[in-house]
């Protein structure tokens, strides 16, 4: 199957290149592994290494970053399973990682007694593959029979293998699915429900599965749901009651990135759930399938958290009603949910500051209690137990190291069990929250982390970060490498909460969707101008950083407002927005950006697409452009072509491409340390020298 998928991808890329060749002289750089493209990459990397790794500060930065990413005293992130805790541990000696298990009592101690389940480095060496662990799906209630996801090189495509966690070994003759973008879930010990490429080419235009089948241990596969090739994807949600019994299966059909159709699978066929197209599944608690609504629906406003009684819906689909659980205010947003044995745990933002509420049904109504956690902190839900009310979560702030909390959701109680040691000196630093006014008068909040008593003379080297897309909120986070390498040396850091993100719920996101995208760029520029007006920094000392969708933001900011910045880090970016939909996975984001094949959409995309907007007579800041060859989410051709066009125009730039590693950039601690050392050498050269 792998050879078929690889051949299909090569065919897609070749066709796409041919379609663009007439008017794009750099379309050949979209051929990921072609000798010509890789020779170009090698030449660029040699120049970048000489410039960045040849800087005398590089080794110091690398040493500091390596000490952070490979530290032995970092918190081993826990995943509750089988009455204990799993963890994937990576360090300098084990870059691929060890999947291991400990009892909950042992984990709470300073030095847990770990039992190795799977040594990824040994597996990679034995099989000659670059294996990285992408999670385990384990059958409830025992959770000892698992499906392990293995990624060759760190990309999104994975291979699934059945694994016996009690015996710490792969199951001989067990379930196994070749590499691909796919989803699997257990129904019972001998049956799975799987979404994958069943026959060559049977994927959506975005490259994801749209056909779901049940697969029995004897190999029998029965189709239970079929979407459409023009969808984004189709996947299965298995609703499990206490004790592990299956209450139902929901087929989630992704119509666009943000629009879905949910159907309960029955013997008589799929029954569509009474939800708007913009809704997202969250959890299954007390017989209720829980969703967030990203648009108004019936009696509910956008952002509402609602539950649908599945039993009622199965018996009388037309009579079943949605129940309101929680309605956020205009300055609130739901960021995450988790489920325990009988509770729905909801993480929220209030003015971009985190809190966690535990919701339970009492006397036929939903009621909440707030967990006692630090104020003015970000909160991440880590892992909930389906067997009891146990829950792990993490709090952090710009200057506050990660703290791991163990909560009892039923009692609404929480206590700290582990704390990350401070990785940089916070003394003399402070966090302030300001707001800038965008072009349409909207107030855009942003955080500044800098020295107390900062001289307001524009001399402070400042790094401004933004994202502004996909309803992803940007919140205060403890960034050890930022603190050690940048803040300790006198730099300032700014986090901009621009529209397009999820800081204030779906309306904040939708305010910068599609034809409204320019608002995100205007918001970012407004924050930059506000920083300059306050004399926190100046264009000479101001740099920007963004990755993925943030690469759209930084590349457009560079072309629209080059006078505001002296450094631009563009990482794993989308840039050629007139062709993003033709590159693997790109078609799934048409709901976010628009469709360049539609003339009206093409017009508003072309108005900002940075690749086409590069001009020979403009004076741009020298950007640092970086990506990964094996990124199968955001195609490396975006970064490559942008650098090549800058070179053709005689404009300065620095380009570096990691030859393996997926979109997340976190597969290997050593490579991650090198990555950040290069980033900060460039920023030091541009903003501090």
Which residues are marked as active site? 548, 663
Of the candidates 405, 402, 409, which has an alpha carbon nearest to the alpha carbon of residue 385?
409
DSSP 540: G
DSSP 496: E
CA distances from 433 to 442, 524, 585 (A): 16, 15, 36
Helix (H, G, I), strand (E, B) or coil at 440: coil
According to the 3-state scheme, what is the secondary structure of 574-636?
Answer: CCCCCCHHHCCCHHHHHHHHCCCCCHHHHHHHHCCCHHHHCCCCCCCCCEEEEEECCCCCCCC
**Strands laid side by side in the 183-188 sheet:** 183-188, 191-195, 211-216, 221-226
Helix (H, G, I), strand (E, B) or coil at 298: coil
Q: Kind of pairing, strands 354-362 and 98-103?
A: unpaired
Give ∠ CA 246-251-252 in degrees, rounded to 5: 125
- In this structure, what token pair is assigned to residue 572? 């794993």
Cβ distance 581 to 589 under 8 Å?
yes
CA distances from 393 to 113, 114, 200, 274, 471 (A): 21, 21, 42, 32, 21
Of the candidates 87, 176, 189, which has an alpha carbon nearest to the alpha carbon of residue 142?
189
Place of tokens 């660029």: 44
How far apart CA 471 and CA 490 sit, in angstroms, is 32
């Amino acid at each position: 199957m792998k050879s078929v998928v690889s051949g299909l991808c090569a065919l897609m890329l070749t066709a796409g290149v041919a379609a663009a060749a007439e008017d794009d002289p750099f379309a050949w750089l979209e051929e990921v592994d072609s000798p010509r493209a890789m020779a170009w990459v090698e030449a660029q990397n040699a120049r970048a290494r000489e410039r960045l790794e040849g800087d005398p500060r590089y080794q110091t930065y690398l040493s500091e970053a390596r000490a952070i990413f490979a530290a032995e005293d970092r918190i081993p992130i826990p995943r509750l399973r089988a009455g204990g805790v799993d963890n994937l541990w990576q360090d300098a000696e084990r870059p691929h990682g060890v999947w291991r298990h400990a009892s909950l009592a042992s984990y709470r101690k300073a030095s847990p007694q770990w039992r190795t389940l799977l040594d990824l480095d040994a597996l990679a060496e034995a099989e000659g593959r670059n294996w990285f662990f992408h999670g385990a799906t384990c059958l409830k209630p025992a959770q000892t029979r698992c499906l392990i996801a293995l990624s060759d090189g760190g990309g999104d495509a994975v291979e699934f293998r059945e694994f016996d966690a009690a015996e710490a070994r792969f199951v001989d003759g067990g379930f196994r699915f070749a590499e691909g973008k796919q989803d699997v879930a257990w129904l019972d010990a001998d049956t799975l429900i799987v979404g994958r490429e069943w026959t060559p080419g049977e994927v959506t235009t975005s490259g994801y599965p749209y056909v779901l089948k049940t697969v029995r241990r004897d190999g029998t596969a029965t189709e239970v749901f079929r979407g459409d090739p023009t969808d984004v994807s189709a996947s299965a949600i298995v609703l499990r009651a206490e004790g592990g019994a299956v209450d139902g299966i929901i087929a989630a059909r992704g119509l666009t990135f943000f629009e879905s159709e949910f159907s309960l699978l029955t013997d008589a066929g799929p029954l569509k759930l009474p939800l708007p197209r913009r809704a997202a599944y969250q959890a299954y608690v007390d017989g209720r399938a829980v969703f967030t609504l990203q648009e108004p629906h019936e009696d509910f406003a956008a952002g509402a958290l609602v539950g649908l009684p599945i039993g009622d819906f199965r018996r009388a689909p037309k009579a079943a009603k949605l129940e309101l659980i929680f309605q956020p205010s205009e300055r609130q947003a739901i960021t995450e949910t988790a489920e325990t044995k009988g509770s729905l745990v909801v993480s929220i933002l209030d003015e971009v500051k985190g809190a966690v509420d535990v919701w339970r049904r009492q006397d036929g109504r939903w009621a909440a209690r707030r967990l006692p956690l630090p104020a003015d902190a970000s909160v991440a839900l880590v892992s909930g137990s389906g067997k009891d009310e146990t829950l792990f979560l993490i709090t952090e702030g710009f200057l506050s190291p990660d703290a791991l909390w163990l909560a009892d959701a039923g009692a609404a109680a929480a206590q700290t069990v582990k704390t990350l040691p401070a990785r940089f000196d916070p003394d003399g630093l402070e966090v302030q929250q300001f707001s800038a006014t965008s072009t349409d008068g909207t107030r855009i909040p942003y955080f500044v982390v800098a020295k107390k008593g900062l001289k307001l003379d524009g001399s402070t080297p400042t790094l401004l970060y933004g994202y502004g897309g996909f309803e992803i909120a940007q919140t205060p986070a403890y960034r050890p490498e930022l603190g050690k390498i940048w803040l300790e040396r006198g730099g300032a850091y700014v986090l901009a909460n621009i529209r397009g993100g999820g800081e204030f719920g779906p309306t904040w996101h939708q305010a910068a969707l599609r034809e409204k995208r320019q608002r995100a760029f205007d918001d970012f520029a407004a924050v930059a101008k506000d920083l300059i007006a306050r004399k926190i920094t100046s264009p000479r000392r101001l740099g920007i950083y963004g990755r993925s969708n943030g690469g759209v933001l930084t590349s457009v900011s560079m072309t629209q407002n080059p006078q505001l910045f002296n450094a631009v880090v563009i990482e794993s970016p989308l840039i050629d927005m007139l062709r993003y939909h033709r590159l693997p996975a790109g078609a799934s984001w048409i709901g976010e950006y628009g469709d360049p094949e539609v003339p009206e959409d093409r017009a508003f995309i072309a108005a900002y697409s940075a690749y086409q907007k590069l001009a020979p007579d403009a004076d741009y800041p020298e950007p640092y452009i970086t990506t990964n060859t094996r990124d199968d989410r955001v195609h490396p051709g975006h970064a490559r072509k942008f650098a090549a066009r800058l070179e053709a125009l005689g404009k300065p730039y620095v380009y570096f491409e990691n030859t393996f590693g997926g979109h997340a950039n976190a597969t290997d601690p050593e490579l991650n340390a090198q990555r950040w050392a290069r980033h900060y050498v460039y920023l030091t050269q541009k903003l501090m020298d």
